[in-house]
Structure formats: C-alpha cells, structure tokens
Amino acid sequence: MEKKLLIISSDITGHGHRSITESLCEKVKTNYQVKIHVVDGFSLGTPLLSTIGKAYGPLTRNSETLWNLIWKLSASTPHLVDALIETQIKDEFLTLLDEVKPDVILSVHPNFNGSILNILEKEQINIPFITLIADLVNISPLWADRRANYIISPTLEARNKCAQFGIPVKKIKLSGFPVRSRFFRKNDQPPPRFKKEKPLTCLIMSGGEGVGNMEKIARNLLNHFDCTVKIVAGRNKKLKTKLEKSLKSQYGDRVEIYGFTKNVQDLMHTADIAFTRGSPNVMFEAIAANTPLIITGALPGQEKDNPAFAEILNLGVVCKNPKEVPLTVAKLLENDGEKLNKIIRSQRQFLRANAAEEILQFILKVGDFHLEETILPYTGSRL
C-alpha cells in the first residue's frame, strides 16, 4: 500500500531547506511505494508570515547584527515563536492534512516544529512527526521539541545540543547531511588532485543570498595567482551587476560572474578551491563534489561554529580576512599542493554518500511503526 509523506520545507529562507528536501525526493524509486507532498511552511500562513520569511534574505545580506539579535530572541523564547506561527498556519495546515492524509510528517525548518506539534496535540491528531535538523553545530531550541517522534541529526554536535535541550537520546537519530546526488562525482570522473602545472580555478560563492566580501577575495586571487575566478552571486542581482562592472572591465575572461544557478555542481567539479561562507548546505555540497573549502565567514547564530567544524575535520580552512587570502592559498599550494590534497582525501573519508537514502528509509519505517528496527550508521565528527 502506498505511503504518503508530507514534508514541511521553505523556498524563501535561503536555499538549504529546499536542497535537503530535493535530496530526499530524488531517492524515491518505484520499490518504495511512497508519495511525497512538499509544502512551503510559510505559504500556509497569512501574508504576515510570508513577509517574515521573505525578510531573511535582506536581513542576512544587509544586517548580520540584526539577524543575530532575532536569532537569539527566537532561541530564548521558542514557545512564543511556536504559538505565533501556530495561529498563522492552523487553518491552512488542517486543510492540508485533510487533503493529503499523510502517514508521516517531516519538518526540515525550525519554525514549523513546535507550531505543528501544537496543532496536532490540540486537535488530537495522531500522525508520526519527525524533524530533520538542517544545521550542524549551533542548534536553536526550535529544532528540539520532545513531542516529536524522532529528531534526525546530521552531526554529533547537533545531537549533543538536542540532548542538552532535554530530548531523550533514544529519540535522536544520527545521520550524515543529505546532499543531492548531482553534487557527487560520477564514476567516470577521476578523483580530483591539485596539479601545479595548470592555472588555478577558484569558485567564490556565499549561499543562495550572495553575501560576503566576494569582490575583495576575487581581487586578491587575481592579483597574486595565475587563476580563473568564477563567482556565484546567488539571488543577489545587485551584487551580480556590481561585480560585472567592477571586475570584468579589469580582468576580462579571467572572471566569470553568475547569478542564481541550478548547475552549481558543474562549477564545483571544475574548481580547485571553493570560497564560501559557513552555510551547511553549501559546505556539504562542496564536500560531496570533493572540492577543498576556504571558509570566509558565517552568519551569526546558526552558522557561528561551522567554520571551526570544517577546519577541525580538515574539510577546509578558515580565512575571514580577504587580505589574508593570498597567504592562505599559498600555504595550501606549497609542496605541490600537499595540504590541498590532504583536504581532498579527508573529504572523501568523512562524507556519508548514502545519507539521504538512509534517512528516507528510516522515515518510511517510522511510518510503518517499526520504530526500533533501524539505526542509522554514522561516523561522528570531533569538534
């Protein structure tokens, strides 16, 4: 009998939640007999809720200080956030349940965990509810609601944080971070290895919202190395236009500027180094592509400790000051790229390529109420 999985995601608060959702959806094959229905949680609310969600991009681009304040306030009063969103989405969510009739509900966005569990509890609706955490180290209490049947954690650090928030360890399932399959290199693609004989190819990106010191990083690379620089400005159209005007006229074909692109995996596969902020989704897509990372910063709040997470595991290095980019890159290239090649090997050893598949299998078994049959294998990090 066909099972129905309802996924509560988001299309307007960055791109990570959608990417995680897509990584699960693409694993649904004929033998699974499951139908997945995906909904943007913000679309279930009034225009006010949609406006709040759409504010994420401008806030993270223009005022990290204000974003940090909002993150801390929501983390200190999760019950108020849950109550507010509950009132915003209740009617539409109940209508959605009546239409979809899901066997399992999965949430991949922190704003819709406690709020939906409030509704299910008050309406006495008994549908298994699972949370899939989309962050790595700095976990908001909004991810950790004891009423969830299970919370799937991508890292040991996130699991430990949930336990600190009072979630029973038996309810927390460790997994890797789910990544869309197109970011993994195909079998006919040779494993990457830096070779000094060819010009360096550098990719600069900063998540779907295009934040960070992209121009300064690009100039420091172009002025100090024989390289080509490819920049992904994401949804930030103003940044794309600015970069085209300031860089193309001076450096010509050595610079390529992209807006939001669905083929970013191709850029990663051809890059020797990827410069990015500490966005979990972007970091893990680069790791799946086996592209060494230079992490240039992180949003305060949920991304704060992600750069250290990557550096400790030798998945990349941290360089927050654009002026230090030439020295950082030079050190990676020393001795025929010894450090760069070590990062490439560490990434291969670390990543769980089957994470999305294993997560989907676990969710479906919960839907069949075989609650104790599956333990997700995991190689923990060491932050």
Q: For residue range 40-95, what is the model confidence (pLDDT) as tens digits?
A: 999 999 888 988 888 887 888 778 889 899 999 999 999 999 999 999 999 999 99
Note the CATH architecture for domain 3-179+353-367: 3-Layer(aba) Sandwich (3.40)
- Between CA 316 and CA 212 the distance in angstroms is 18
Please state which of the ranges 132-146, 233-247, 266-280, 350-364 shows the lowest mean pLDDT: 233-247
Structure tokens at 107: 């949430």
Structure tokens at 212: 């960070």
CATH code of 182-350, in short, is 3.40.50.2000
Per-residue pLDDT, 378: 32
Domain boundaries of the chain, sorted by first residue: 3-179+353-367, 182-350
Per-residue pLDDT, 16: 87
Name the pLDDT band for 376 (thresholds 50, 70, 90).
Answer: very low
Closest CA to 78 of 46, 117, 42: 117
**142 or 63, which is more confident:** 142
pTM of the model: 0.89
Name the pLDDT band for 381 (thresholds 50, 70, 90).
Answer: very low
Q: Do domains 3-179+353-367 and 182-350 have the same CATH topology?
A: yes
